[in-house]
């Protein structure tokens, strides 16, 4: 057994047994290192979770919703921008509709005048025009005036029938040059007609009708053939109205046989 001297007091052998002495100062230093050197907390600091997260599926849904809003917005914007064009298109359709009907009504008046002219008593057959005018008034917001003149080539008698469908009363005078009498006064309520008669001695006569409607004076003129041949002349003044749109036609019919 080896003795330990006084100078070696306080020394100890290293655990590995190689006899390396550790002094008091080294032991204190190692003790301080062990006390101060603590294991570090390696756990990572967690970041705060986001308030709202989207998975891949939710992102696809959001894109679809955004696309729907964009499509709806484009449609609404297109409708707003196309309003003037739609308004013009509707006005054009309304005018076309009225214009077609106006042309049909005018043609029917002309046809009825021709039918009346081939009847045994043409001036009496002018009632066709009255009945047709009454029918058109029931179908359209219309204003119509017709004048039907028949000159009998055998008797030189001339009959003039005036039909008033102008939605108001009219009054006026009919003048026929070189005839007896030279003029006739008339007053007509709405939806009514009157027939006046003349006797002429000349071949070509100047016919003038002057009438007043709501303080507005209108003059219509025609030439009437008062020869040995029969002659029919007619005037048709037709107006159709709808939704603030008005179309008007004025035509003349003549036939001699």
DSSP annotation of 154 reads T
Q: Which residue has better confidence, 149 or 18?
A: 149
Contacts of 233 (CB under 8 A, 6+ apart): 149, 151, 207, 222, 223, 224, 225, 252, 253, 254
Helical packing angle, 56-117 and 127-139, nearest 10°: 170
Residue 55 scores a pLDDT above 70? no
Residue 202 scores a pLDDT above 60? yes
Residue 162 scores a pLDDT above 70? yes
Distance CA 203, CA 26 (A): 158
Contact call for residues 220 and 208 (beta carbons, < 8 A): yes
User: 203 pLDDT band (50/70/90 cuts)?
Assistant: confident
User: 66 pLDDT band (50/70/90 cuts)?
Assistant: confident
User: How much is the pLDDT for 9?
Assistant: 47
Burial code (b: 16+ CB inside 10 Å, e: under 16) for 72-95 equals eeeeeeeeeeeeeeeeeeeeeeee
**Phi, psi (degrees; rounded to nearest 5) at 77:** -65, -40
Structure tokens at 179: 């005839």
User: How much is the pLDDT for 32?
Assistant: 53
Distance CA 164, CA 170 (A): 8
First to last CA, the chain: 173
3-class DSSP assignment, residue 219: strand
Task: Choose the weakest-confidence range: 17-31, 73-87, 168-182.
Answer: 17-31
Task: Choose the weakest-confidence range: 103-107, 112-116, 121-125, 247-251.
Answer: 121-125
Distance CA 104, CA 122 (A): 23
Contact call for residues 122 and 102 (beta carbons, < 8 A): no
User: 245 pLDDT band (50/70/90 cuts)?
Assistant: confident
CATH 2.60.40 fits 93-256, yes or no: yes
Distance CA 117, CA 139 (A): 26
Strand partners, 242: 245
Average pLDDT over residues 217-240: 90
Number of neighbouring beta carbons within 10 Å of residue 190:
13
Token pair 């003038």 is at which residue?
A: 208
Contact call for residues 189 and 121 (beta carbons, < 8 A): no
Name the percent of the chain lying above pLDDT 70: 69
Mean pLDDT (the chain) is 79
Residue 50 scores a pLDDT above 70? no
Structure tokens at 141: 């917001």
Distance CA 212, CA 102 (A): 24
Distance CA 96, CA 125 (A): 33
Distance CA 256, CA 117 (A): 9
User: How much is the pLDDT for 31?
Assistant: 53
Distance CA 238, CA 252 (A): 12
Structure tokens at 122: 């043409």
Per-residue model confidence as pLDDT tens digits over 86-118: 565 565 566 788 899 999 999 999 999 999 888
Per-residue model confidence as pLDDT tens digits over 2-20: 444 444 444 444 444 444 4
Residue 186 scores a pLDDT above 80? yes
Q: Which residue has better confidence, 152 or 29?
A: 152
Name the percent of the chain lying above pLDDT 90: 42
């Amino acid at each position: 057994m080896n003795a330990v001297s006084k100078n070696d007091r306080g020394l100890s052998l290293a655990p590995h047994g190689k006899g390396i002495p550790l002094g008091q100062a080294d032991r204190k230093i190692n003790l301080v290192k062990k006390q101060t050197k603590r294991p570090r907390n390696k756990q990572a600091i967690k970041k705060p979770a986001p308030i709202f997260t989207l998975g891949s599926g939710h992102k696809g849904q959001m894109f679809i919703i955004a696309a729907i809003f964009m499509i709806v917005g484009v449609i609404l914007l297109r409708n707003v921008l196309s309003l003037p064009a739609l308004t013009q298109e509707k006005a054009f359709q309304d005018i076309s509709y009225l214009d077609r009907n106006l042309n049909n009504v005018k043609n029917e008046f002309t046809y009825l005048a021709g039918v009346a002219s081939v009847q045994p008593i043409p001036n009496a057959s002018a009632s066709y025009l009255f009945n047709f005018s009454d029918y058109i008034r029931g179908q359209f917001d219309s204003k119509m005036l017709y004048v039907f003149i028949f000159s009998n080539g055998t008797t030189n008698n001339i009959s003039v029938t005036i039909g008033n469908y102008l939605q108001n009363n009219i009054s006026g005078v009919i003048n026929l040059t070189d005839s007896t009498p030279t003029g006739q006064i008339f007053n007509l309520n709405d939806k009514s007609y009157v027939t006046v008669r003349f006797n002429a001695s000349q071949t070509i006569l100047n016919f003038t009708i002057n009438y007043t409607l709501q303080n507005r004076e209108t003059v219509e003129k025609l030439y009437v053939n008062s020869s040995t041949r029969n002659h029919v002349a007619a005037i048709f003044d037709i107006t159709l109205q709808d939704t603030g749109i008005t179309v008007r036609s004025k035509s003349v019919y003549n036939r001699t046989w």
